[in-house]
Amino acid sequence: MTRVILALAVLILGSTGGEIAITYGMKATGEPARLRPRALLQFLGRALRNGWFWAGVPLMALSFYALLVLLSWEPISLVIPASALSYVVGTLGAKYILREQISAARWAGVLLVCAGVALVAAG
Amino acid sequence: MASERRLRIKTLVMVLAMVVCANAGDLLLKRGMSEIGAVQLTGAGLAHAFWLTVTNGTIWAGIFFLTGFMVSYMTVLSWADYSYVMPAGAFGYALLTLMAVLFLHESVSPRRWVGVLLIGVGVLLVGQTKPRTTEVTSEAVA
């Protein structure tokens, strides 16, 4: 039981941590001047030279590894619904690390999405 | 405010591109891998599977769409909140269920329908909040 909770924590913290690092890197990169192929390529070039982007990638790989390990122990109908918790953890990270303002409507939406994804994934 | 409206439309279009690319990519990869068949976990088996994978057009189409997902994901996060994009992207789960019913004629349990409904309402709630609540960073301006 302890190892399942530990792997789940690595899964959730790895994916949200990785996504938050990538978001941080993308905000530092700044938006593309225009949504045209040339401007997008220049934008991607700038993004790939940002350290935060590359901090996010191994965290997401770690999370994927934890997912594979979990799936070898527990049925998928338990693992995926449990990983829906990352919507709540991600929102907390957005609030306290990225300093985004989470309005009551956004919190309500996140909680509904979290419950909804858990139900859909449980089948 | 006109610019706020533009920001919201731009964000929602990007989230839609993200969801469509992710679903199409996963579907194509799954179809490509089933064309290849079960992979034998031996040295020769893996080498053979690798060769079949890199010469399979469906797999490449899947990789193309998954690259599209990553690009649209990175692009939308350059201006929109993570806490906006992440729950809005869950719309993909609802879309996948609807597509499974419409095109594959799969039967869906009542529990799953309740989940689709909750995701739909949740995404609508998040969708009407401000897509960006943080300041533009100095590096981005420079």
**In the predicted structure, residue B47 carries a pLDDT above the cut 50:** yes
Does B138 reside within a domain?
A: no
* Residue B37, phi-psi category: left (phi > 0), alpha (psi -120 to 50), beta (remainder): left
**In the predicted structure, residue B63 carries a pLDDT above the cut 60:** yes
Across the range B54-79, mean pLDDT stands at: 94
Q: Is B98 on the interface with A (CB under 8 A)?
A: no
ipTM: 0.92
CB–CB of B64/B37 below 8 Å? no
Q: How far is CA B118 from the centre of its chain?
A: 19
Of the pLDDT bands very low, low, confident and very high (cuts 50, 70, 90), residue B128 is very high
Domain region containing B79: 2-133
**In the predicted structure, residue B142 carries a pLDDT above the cut 60:** no
pLDDT in the model for residue A100: 96
**In the predicted structure, residue B42 carries a pLDDT above the cut 70:** yes
Amino acid, res. B58: T
Instruction: Give chain B positions within 8 Å (CB) of A123.
Output: 109, 111-112
Asked whether the beta carbons of residue A116 and residue B83 sit closer than 8 angstroms, the reply is: no
Residue B74 or B97, more confident: B74
pLDDT in the model for residue B117: 95
Does B142 reside within a domain?
A: no
Rounded Cα distance between B136 and A52, Å, is: 17
Does B62 reside within a domain?
A: yes
Q: What is the DSSP letter of B141?
A: H
Nearest to A110 among B74, B122, B124 (CB): B122
Q: Is A101 on the interface with B (CB under 8 A)?
A: yes
SS3 call for B40: coil
Instruction: Give chain B positions within 8 Å (CB) of A77.
Output: none
The structural domain count of chain B equals 1
Does B117 reside within a domain?
A: yes
The per-residue pLDDT for range B92-104, each reduced to its tens digit, is 888 888 888 888 7
Asked whether the beta carbons of residue A113 and residue B77 sit closer than 8 angstroms, the reply is: no
pLDDT in the model for residue B139: 47
Asked whether the beta carbons of residue B112 and residue A99 sit closer than 8 angstroms, the reply is: no
Instruction: Give chain B positions within 8 Å (CB) of A40.
Output: 71, 75
pTM of the model: 0.88
Does B95 reside within a domain?
A: yes
pLDDT in the model for residue A14: 97
Q: Give the residues of chain A that fall short of pLDDT 70.
A: none
Domain region containing A47: 2-122
pLDDT in the model for residue A5: 93
Does B141 reside within a domain?
A: no
pLDDT in the model for residue B37: 84
pLDDT in the model for residue B137: 54
When the pLDDT of each residue in chain B is averaged and rounded to a whole number, the result is 89
Of the pLDDT bands very low, low, confident and very high (cuts 50, 70, 90), residue B1 is low
Does B140 reside within a domain?
A: no
The per-residue pLDDT for range B2-36, each reduced to its tens digit, is 788 889 999 999 999 999 999 999 888 888 888 88
Does B45 reside within a domain?
A: yes
